[in-house]
Amino acid sequence: MTMFRHSTSWINDALSGLQSLVFPSSCIMCAQTDQVICERCNAQWISPPRFINFVDVPTTSVVPYSSEVSSVVLKAKEDGNRVARRLIAQALYEAVDFISIRKKNQPFVLVPIPSSREAIRQRGESFLHPILKNVNEIAAVHGSNWEWKEVLIHKKRVRDQAGLNSRERSQNLQGVFAVREGVAEERPIILIDDVITTGSTLKNAILAFNERKMTVLGAATACASAHQFLIR
């Protein structure tokens, strides 16, 4: 299982020499050291992937969600931080690989949970697109040629999920996704998202595929709420 121990090489790629001279670096999570990701914080991203407590399809994740982890996800989303994106991409690679191995390397296509239209207007692209490019780069290093396709769309506006309880999140996301018109994908699908909390987002994505009789092989997320991880 590939872990995130060899972080130096990609950190050097992510930060140019000029930046390191002009801007002092600090840990992206705790800001307590002069490393872009300190050993303590990096350790939170190198746990082996595990199945989580989501029964609709086999679902894996790597990092228990916390306020510190949330800050990394926010930096990737709002700031386009390359180190944050790479941390998420590595975790997603491990989560997808975990499913792939257990499905005996059955062919599949990766499908990201789409950003809302408003978020795409603000950022210029879906949050997961650059991360999925990183995932494919990591996969290629290990001899895998994974393809990802933007298959899902939002078909209605939703409220901001922040502050909503589990029931409200479920109601808010009910019927939110649809498969793009004209898309016909015969390969099984592995859904991709950055974080799973209640599971409402993944449930509604799966429903959209079920309506089109498309097979969802599993789902992979970088992070999951602590209660989602199965107790061993």
Query: Domain of 218: which CATH number?
Result: 3.40.50
Residue at 85 is within a domain: yes
Q: Determine the average pLDDT of the residues in 12-39.
A: 68
Query: Which ranges of 75-156 would DSSP assign to H, the alpha helix?
Result: 82-102, 117-123, 128-141
CB 180 within 8 A of CB 152: yes
CB 221 within 8 A of CB 60: yes
Which of 53, 146, 40 is CA-nearest to residue 92? 146
CB 152 within 8 A of CB 114: yes
Residue at 212 is within a domain: yes
Residue at 200 is within a domain: yes
Please tell me what DSSP assigns to residue 57: S
Residue at 6 is within a domain: no
Q: What is the pLDDT of residue 122?
A: 81
Q: Determine the average pLDDT of the residues in 45-65.
A: 94
CB 132 within 8 A of CB 83: no
Residue at 182 is within a domain: yes
Q: Which domain holds residue 203?
A: 47-228
What percentage of the chain carries pLDDT values higher than 90?
A: 59
Q: What is the pLDDT of residue 26?
A: 86
For residues 232 and 225, give the distance between their C-alpha atoms in angstroms, rounded to a whole number. Answer: 16
Q: In this structure, are strands 109-112 and 189-196 parallel, antiparallel, or unpaired?
A: parallel
Residue at 208 is within a domain: yes
Q: What is the pLDDT of residue 49?
A: 95
Average pLDDT, the chain: 85
Task: Give pLDDT tens digits for 69-99.
Answer: 999 999 999 889 999 999 999 999 999 999 9
Task: Give pLDDT tens digits for 185-210.
Answer: 889 999 999 999 989 899 999 999 99
Residue at 38 is within a domain: no
CB 215 within 8 A of CB 206: no
Q: Determine the average pLDDT of the residues in 116-134.
A: 86
Q: What is the pLDDT of residue 163?
A: 65
Least confident residue range of 101-105, 126-130, 162-166, 178-182: 162-166
What percentage of the chain carries pLDDT values higher than 70?
A: 82
CA 162, 96, 148: angle at the middle one, nearest 5?
85
Residue at 143 is within a domain: yes
Q: Determine the average pLDDT of the residues in 6-24.
A: 46
Least confident residue range of 11-15, 145-149, 224-228: 11-15
Please count the structural domains in the chain: 1
